[in-house]
Amino acid sequence: MEQAKDIILRSEKIVVVPHTNPDGDAMGASIGLYYVLQALGKKATIVSPTDFPEYLKWTDASKEVIIAEWENAKAKRIIRNADLIVYLDFNDLKRAGILDEILSSLSTPSIMIDHHPYPKEFATYPFTDISASSTCELIVDFIYQCGWDNQLSSIAASSLFMGILTDTGGFAHNSSKPDLYRVVGMLMAKNVDKDYIYSKVFHQFSKDRLRLMGYALSEKMVVLDSFHTSYITLSEKELADFKFQSGDTEGIVNEPLQITGMVCSVLFMEKDGFIKISFRSKGNFPVNEIAEKFFSGGGHLNAAGGRSNLSLEETVKRFESALVDYKELLMEETQKLK
Ligand SMILES: [Mn+2]
At 24-56, the pLDDT tens digits run 999 999 999 999 999 999 999 999 999 998 889
Ligand 1 geometric centre to CA of 244 (Å): 24
| pLDDT given for residue 245 in this prediction | 84
Q: What is the mean pLDDT of residues 229-251?
A: 91
Residue 26 Cα, ligand 1 centroid: separation in angstroms? 6
β strands within 89-144, DSSP E: 110-114, 125-128
**Distance from Cα 313 to the centre of ligand 1, integer Å:** 30
pLDDT at 137 over 90: yes
Q: Mean pLDDT throughout 179-201?
A: 96
Confidence of residue 248 (pLDDT cuts 50, 70, 90): confident
Percent of the chain with pLDDT over 70: 100
The pLDDT of 167-192, averaged and rounded, is: 94
Task: State the pLDDT confidence band at 250, using cuts at 50, 70 and 90.
Answer: confident
With a cut of 90, say whether residue 246 has pLDDT above it. Answer: no
Cα–Cα separations (whole angstroms), residue 111 to 5, 104, 203: 10, 14, 34
Question: What is the Å distance from ligand 1's center to 83 Cα?
Answer: 25
Four-residue CA torsion sign, 308, 309, 312, 314: negative
Q: Is the dihedral angle over the CA atoms 154, 248, 74, 138 positive or is it negative? A: positive
For domain 207-336, give the CATH number. Answer: 3.10.310.30
Give distance in angstroms: CA of 70 to centre of ligand 1. Answer: 24
| Cα 17 to middle of ligand 1, angstroms | 13
Ligand 1 centre to CA of 299 (Å) is 10
Residue 171, classified by CB atoms within 10 Å of its CB into exposed (0-12), middle (13-18) or buried (19+), is middle
Whole-number Å distance between alpha carbons of 338 and 336: 6
Q: Which fold has domain 2-202?
A: inorganic pyrophosphatase (n-terminal core) (3.90.1640)
How much distance in Å is there from the Cα of 275 to the middle of ligand 1? 22
pLDDT of residue 108: 98
89 CA from centroid of ligand 1 (Å): 5
Residue 95 C-alpha to ligand 1 middle, in angstroms?
A: 13
Q: How far away, in angstroms, is 100 Cα from ligand 1 center?
A: 19
**Whole-number Å distance between alpha carbons of 144 and 90:** 22
Domains of the chain: which residue ranges?
2-202, 207-336
Range in 10-24, 130-144, 190-204, 236-250 the model is least confident about: 236-250
Question: 169 CA distance to ligand 1 centroid (A)?
Answer: 11
Q: How far is the CA of 241 from the centre of ligand 1 (A)?
A: 31
pLDDT-derived band of residue 13, with 50, 70 and 90 as boundaries? very high
Tell me: pLDDT of 247 over 80: no
Find the 170 Cα to ligand 1 centroid distance in Å: 13
Q: Which residues surround ligand 1, an ion (CB under 5 A)?
A: 25, 89, 134-135, 167
Nearest to 117, CA basis, from 251, 288, 260: 288
Q: Given this model, what pLDDT does residue 53 score?
A: 87
> Can you tell me the distance from the alpha carbon of 116 to that of 41, in angstroms, rounded to the nearest whole number?
30
Tell me the pLDDT band of 21, cut-offs 50, 70 and 90.
very high
CB 259 within 8 A of CB 230: yes
